[in-house]
Amino acid sequence: MSITSVTKTDLTHCRMFAAALAAGVGAAVPISAARQAWAAPTAPGSSRLTLPRPTGPHPVGTVPLHLVDTSRPDPVAGPGHHRELMAGVWYPARRAEGLPRAPWMTEGALRALLTDAGFPLDPALGPLTAAHVGAPVHHAGHRLPVIVYSHGSGSHRGDHTIMVQELASHGYAVVTVDHTHDTFTELPDGRMLTPDDVPMYPRDFAADLRFLLDCVEGLAAGRNPDADGKPLPQGLLGALDPKHIGAFGWSKGGTATALTMLADQRVRAGLSLDGPMQPTITADLDRPFIICSLRGYSVLQGGEETDSCGAGQGKTIRRRGGSPFAANYPQIAIS
């Protein structure tokens, strides 16, 4: 076994993820206890890393979406082109038997990520998620509360898949998105898009999130937002609750989450993971917003900051009976 030293300057977001992937698939993958990553059965003599099983009572389904925002021209793509986004919907499934597991990333996007990070591994060895592609949606007599997710700079919508599938297993619909020109993504026609030299600011991410909210409303009203008219899983149309929406993001995505909440009342609660909040945000926010960073946790409620991780209105978030992630969104849960 060889050991490669990694300097601090090498540890960009993408390189850290690729290094973790290389550690998992470049050698034998240990099979550990339940709820940790395990090796999915593949061909004899091989192992494939699979992300940890969610702790919720429901299996998880997922479907990718190809979205086009016709209200925003894309000058990078050229005249007549509009902003294209790849997104994913993750949700509690009614059943998953016999359905394929969704990959962490498409092979094309993962190949581009690994190449950029300097890890020329076979993308076919990329991890599988716990979700099943196209599984029918579980219905429990009410619509599903929704959470939208925004990734960090130069990354991709698979960043926090473990959290995403955990939330879905507890009854949330989670919508993730690749922020085009600041991500590694693959479009349905095979085009590969990687981070460009074009500046992408948190406000650009926030514009993507607001468009994503429009798509959530479309799905809730029974309209398929996929630009290619791709068939959706059984039960997804009409399943989402547009009146119970939360959002979270990492790094630049965390800042974009705050900007989205300031501009759009449809998001009732938000969570920022290491969001730099730059440029400095000075406006007041009238809904619960949690900031998690290296220095700990803080909560913004009505423009005031407290020292502990809470949900506003005097309620402190604690790990209790199941998923700590699901507890982060009491403001949007079904009462």
What are the tens digits of pLDDT across the range 114-161? 999 998 788 888 999 999 999 999 998 999 999 999 999 999 999 999
Considering the chain, what percentage of its residues have pLDDT values greater than 90?
63
**pLDDT at position 332, please?**
55
Section 258-285 average pLDDT: 93
Residue 297: predicted pLDDT: 52
Cα pseudo-dihedral 139, 264, 274, 8, rounded to 10: 100
Contact predicate 146/136, CB 8 Å: no
The model's pLDDT over 183-237, given as tens digits with 9 standing for 90+, comes to: 999 999 999 999 988 899 999 999 999 999 999 999 999 999 999 999 999 999 9
Comparing C-alpha atoms, which of 244, 153, 255 is closest to residue 209?
A: 255
The predicted pLDDT at position 20 comes to 36
Q: Give residue 295's pLDDT.
A: 63
- How does pLDDT run across 285-334, given as a tens digit for each residue? 899 999 988 765 555 544 444 443 433 332 222 223 334 444 445 455 54
Nearest-angstrom CA–CA distance, 66 and 186? 10
Q: With 60 as the cut, is the pLDDT of residue 41 above it?
A: no
Confidence (pLDDT) at 242:
98
DSSP one-letter string for 244-306:
EEEEEEETHHHHHHHHHHHH-TTEEEEEEES---TTTP-S---S-EEEEETTEEEEEETTEEE
Give the separation between CA 101 and CA 43, rounded to whole angstroms: 16
**Sequence-distant (≥ 6) Cβ neighbours of residue 280 within 8 angstroms:** none
In the predicted structure, residue 165 carries a pLDDT above the cut 60: yes
Dist. CA 22–CA 132, nearest whole Å: 24
Q: Is the pLDDT of residue 21 over 50?
A: no
What's the pTM value of the predicted model, to 2 decimals?
A: 0.79
Of 49-63, 259-273, 314-328, minimum mean pLDDT range? 314-328
Is residue 24 very low, low, confident or very high in pLDDT (cuts 50, 70, 90)?
Answer: very low
Amino acid at 96: A
Mean pLDDT estimate for the chain? 80
Say what the pLDDT of residue 44 is. 47
Q: In the predicted model, is pLDDT for residue 6 greater than 60?
A: no
Distance (Å, rounded) from C-alpha 312 to C-alpha 148?
A: 20
pLDDT of the residue at 304: 47
To which residue do tokens 């790849």 refer?
86
pLDDT of residue 29: 24
CA nearest neighbour of 316 among 295, 302, 330: 330
Q: Which residue has the higher pLDDT, 35 or 154?
A: 154
